[in-house]
Amino acid sequence: MKTYGRGAISDFLDDRVLYRNLIPCSAGLPGLPELRAPLSIDPAITPRKTTMDYARVIHAVLNAAQEQRGAPPLARLIYVGDTRMNDGTAFSNIAAVSGWPGMAFIGSEKIGPLSYAKEDLPVGSIYTASRWTALKRFNQSLTKHAFTADETTAVLIDMDKTALGARGRNDGRIDEARLDAARLTAEDILGPGYDQAAFQKRYDTLNQPEFHPLTVDNQDYLVYICLTLSGGWINLDQLLEWYYGKQVTSFPQFVSKAEAAKASFPANLHGMHDSFHESYTQGDPTPFKAFRHSEYLATLARLGQLPDDTLPEIMIQKEIVMTQEVYHAAMGWKAQGALLFGISDKPDEASLPSAAQAAEGMRPIHETETHILGA
């Protein structure tokens, strides 16, 4: 690994960024609140990455951004991400909604020989690679197919575990920040009653694909479950009995059980549960605000904090670093005139400072510099 100085996502995206709430950070662009009615999107739902409603929102925002910069209509789509399921599905949906021909790169650092495979879809092609260095080869594939990244090209770049904390290379630091936030939130709420070993066991057990029907693969829900199990009304073994016995197999069922049992909760859990329950019943996709605010601080603490002369092999184990291959490709596409936009499934609360924090000089995650590392 080699260090390539410092940089921020905003170097190539500016403020053209969409976090989970689908409200652009760039001024003057429509977001989900303005697009719900014209796109007939349920007011109680915030579309997630793999849905067609998400694709329709992205399509509308991209067109608005292109019009805002006074460029000709968009005609092509390039997508860079790290998972075939989430990013590949988002890419194919956006290409289908827009009608633009598209090419996508899905990268991840894996042990073994380099693989670089092409998958043709009705809406375009997905190239899946086992090295981030293969992004250079993807650029060559664009050239081979005369797929020019010019001013009529939209480039969508996934931020988490792609531009920052590359999957298979540095993504563990992103997970560590989230886990630290969960621990700090639990400690703050439970006080002297906080048992780190017990909390860690609950988190590690339930943070597995096997339990996605219960947790919905949502960290807000997972941390809430782990905290409520500290209330004495049920322990982890009993929850597993409920789950395998099909008494509680979904998150709404768990919340209903917790709401019915809340009178027995210790005092320090009442406020947490009531706040969570209110946000959850109102359809908020990020109902555990305290946890996500803590995640923002934990992430910020891992961005660019080490001295510039730190050895790369140490830096990549301590910091969330920028993926040099993505940074280099994105800066090239920007120079060619393409419209670059960043997308993230990370909640806004875990990515943006509060007004008070901004007054103290804290910046959004996409504007915060960190070291750029590449192979």
Is residue 313 one of the residues assigned to a domain?
no
- Which amino acid is residue 24, in one-letter code? P
- Which amino acid is residue 11, in one-letter code? D
Judge if 159 and 14 occupy the same domain. yes
Decide: 365 and 177 in contact? Cβ < 8 Å: no
* pTM of the model as a whole: 0.93
**Where residue 2 falls among pLDDT bands split at 50, 70, 90?**
very high
Q: Of 238, 261, 295, which residue is a domain's last?
A: 295
Residues in the chain: 375
Judge if 6 and 85 occupy the same domain. yes
* Tokens of residue 341, six digits: 């936009």
Judge if 160 and 28 occupy the same domain. yes
User: pLDDT at residue 232 above 90?
Assistant: no
Q: What is the CA radius of gyration of the chain?
A: 21
User: pLDDT at residue 268 above 90?
Assistant: no
**Where residue 158 falls among pLDDT bands split at 50, 70, 90?**
very high
Q: In the predicted model, what is the mean pLDDT of residues 36-52?
A: 94
Judge if 21 and 141 occupy the same domain. yes
Mean pLDDT in the chain?
95
Distance in angstroms between the alpha carbons of the first and the last residue of the chain: 5
Is residue 180 one of the residues assigned to a domain?
yes
Decide: 329 and 372 in contact? Cβ < 8 Å: no
Judge if 287 and 211 occupy the same domain. yes
Q: Of 226, 260, 295, which residue is a domain's last?
A: 295
Judge if 108 and 194 occupy the same domain. no
Q: What are phi and psi of 309, to 5 degrees?
A: -90, 10
Judge if 12 and 161 occupy the same domain. yes
For residue 50, count CB atoms less than 10 angstroms from its CB and return exposed for 0-12, middle for 13-18, buried for 19 or more: middle
Judge if 153 and 274 occupy the same domain. no
Decide: 97 and 67 in contact? Cβ < 8 Å: no
Judge if 69 and 141 occupy the same domain. yes
User: pLDDT at residue 64 above 90?
Assistant: yes
Is residue 28 one of the residues assigned to a domain?
yes
Residue 64 CB contacts under 8 Å (≥ 6 apart), including other chains? 29, 30
The total number of structural domains in the chain stands at 2
340 by DSSP, 3-state: which?
strand
**221: closest CA among 262, 189, 250?**
250
Q: How far apart are CA 339 and CA 205, in angstroms?
A: 42
Q: Are strands 76-81 and 153-158 parallel, antiparallel or unpaired?
A: parallel
Judge if 11 and 148 occupy the same domain. yes
Q: How far apart are CA 138 and CA 103, in angstroms?
A: 9
Judge if 28 and 97 occupy the same domain. yes
pLDDT value of residue 157: 98
Is residue 314 one of the residues assigned to a domain?
no
Is residue 307 one of the residues assigned to a domain?
no
Is residue 60 one of the residues assigned to a domain?
yes
Residue 251 CB contacts under 8 Å (≥ 6 apart), including other chains? 214, 215, 216, 218, 221
Judge if 139 and 40 occupy the same domain. yes
Is residue 312 one of the residues assigned to a domain?
no
Cβ atoms within 10 Å of 284's Cβ, excluding its own? 17
**Where residue 231 falls among pLDDT bands split at 50, 70, 90?**
confident
Tokens 């406020």 correspond to: 271
Range of the structural domain that residue 143 is part of: 2-166+321-374
Q: Of 257, 280, 295, which residue is a domain's last?
A: 295
Q: What are phi and psi of 155, to 5 degrees?
A: -115, 115
pLDDT value of residue 42: 93
Q: How far apart are CA 255 and CA 251, in angstroms?
A: 6
Is residue 133 one of the residues assigned to a domain?
yes
Q: What angle do CA 140, 142, 144 make, to 5 degrees?
A: 70
